[in-house]
Amino acid sequence: MPMAPAYKRILLKVSGEALSGDQQFGIQPEFLDGVAQQIAGVAKTGVEIAIVTGGGNIFRGMAVAANGGDRVTADMMGTLGTVINALALAGALTNAGVKAKVFSATTMPSVADTYTARAAKAALEDGYVVVLGGGIGNPFFTTDTAAALRGIELQCDVVLKGTNVDGVYSADPKKDPNATRYDQISHDDVIKQNLRVMDTAAFALARDNNLPIIVYSLDDKEGLSGVLEGRVRSTRVGQ
Ligand code: UDP
């Protein structure tokens, strides 16, 4: 008999860089399809999946702000990139054989349904993978914070944050050879030690609402199902 999934509902953060592959910019179709296949495989086991897409492969507001541009406008441009990624991922999920629905935090009715927790929950209960674009819909935030917020709103059991290292380290392991990896660490310790795997705002929200976050490497061959089944080296933030 197949093992019952450990989680009923998960929130997955898919960064822009997970879709751009080895390109500097945009979406590389093979990477997009690879990510979609992994997600579809897990969805078919009955786990309910909400996804927050990043947009760093298209545009980051900070890049314009750093050159003296208006941050509010620049961040709105950034959020448009996250919607582009959400649409692309939902298309690839549909091709991979699962139902997917895009919601946008910013109203754009001819492009996607407008996000409400009520509508997104109903879609999850109907068996859709929901793909959430537009971050939280406000400038000065990132999609990591959106992942924590939506995880809480949608009553997910855990947030999964794929990155380029296999967990949370005491320092950047790519720069400091003495950096050590944690199997488990509290939200508070991540914040106090300023371990910047996600924004402080994301960790604070998750801490205040008892939402665990699993940080793992996107390069691990076992992929998302391996992470959920505990076969992948990762760090659990929170209980
Ligand atoms: N953004 C925003 N508000 C949000 C989420 C994102 O203004 O709630 C903008 C911001 O400009 C950010 C860009 O969208 O730089 C892309 O998001 P993010 O940097 O989180 O993407 P990722 O690094 O995960 O690909």
Compute, in angstroms, the gap from residue 56 CA to the centroid of ligand 1.
7
Residues 98-113 pLDDT 10s: 999 999 999 999 999 9
pLDDT by residue (tens digit) across 176-191?
Answer: 999 999 999 999 999 9
Token duo for residue 59: 């545009």
CA of 26 from ligand 1 middle (Å) equals: 15
Determine the Cα–Cα distance for residues 181 and 227; give it in Å rounded to an integer.
Answer: 16
Output the pLDDT for position 207: 98
pLDDT class for 3, splitting at 50, 70, 90? low
Q: Where are the beta strands (DSSP E) in the chain?
A: 9-14, 48-53, 100-104, 113-114, 129-133, 158-163, 184-185, 213-217, 234-237
- Give pLDDT, residue 181: 96
Q: What is the pLDDT of residue 6?
A: 85
Point out the ligand 1 atom lying closest to the alpha carbon of residue 140.
Answer: 7
56 lines ligand 1 (CB under 6 A): yes
pTM over 0.80: yes
- Taking only the tens place, the pLDDT of each residue in 10-68 is 999 999 999 999 898 999 999 999 999 999 999 999 999 999 999 999 999 998 888 89
* The predicted structure's pLDDT at residue 80: 98
With beta carbons less than 8 A apart as the criterion, state whether 29 and 95 touch: no
Percent of the chain as helix, strand, coil, to the nearest 5: 40, 20, 45
| CB 106 less than 6 A from any atom of ligand 1 | no
Average pLDDT value for residue range 100-128: 98
Residue 164 CA to residue 174 CA, distance in Å, equals: 10
Instruction: Give percent of the chain with pLDDT exceeding 70.
Output: 98
> Ligand 1 pocket check: which of 14, 31, 57, 60 to mutate, most ligand atoms within 8 Å of Cβ?
60
Mean pLDDT of 147-172: 96
Distance, in Å, from the CA atom of 26 to the CA atom of 88, rounded to the nearest integer, reads: 11
Query: How many CB atoms are closer than 10 A to CB 42?
Result: 24
Query: Helices H, strands E: what count in the chain?
Result: 9, 9
Is the pLDDT score of 171 beyond 70? yes
Integer CA distances (angstroms), 42 to 88, 122, 188, in order: 19, 19, 30
CA of 75 to the centre of ligand 1 (A): 7
Res 1 pLDDT > 80: no
What residue spans define the domains of the chain?
Answer: 9-237
Residue 211 has pLDDT above 70, yes or no: yes
Q: Burial letters for 182-199: b for 16+ Cβ neighbours within 10 Å, e otherwise?
A: beebebeebeeeebebbb
Q: How far is the CA of 3 from the centre of ligand 1 (A)?
A: 36
Residues 109-138: what's their mean pLDDT?
A: 98
Q: Which CATH number fits domain 9-237: 3.30.70.860, 3.40.640.10, 3.40.1160.10, 3.90.380.10?
A: 3.40.1160.10
Q: What is the mean pLDDT of the chain?
A: 95
Q: What percent of the chain has pLDDT over 90?
A: 89
8 Å CB contact between 186 and 177: no
Structure letter (DSSP) for residue 114: E
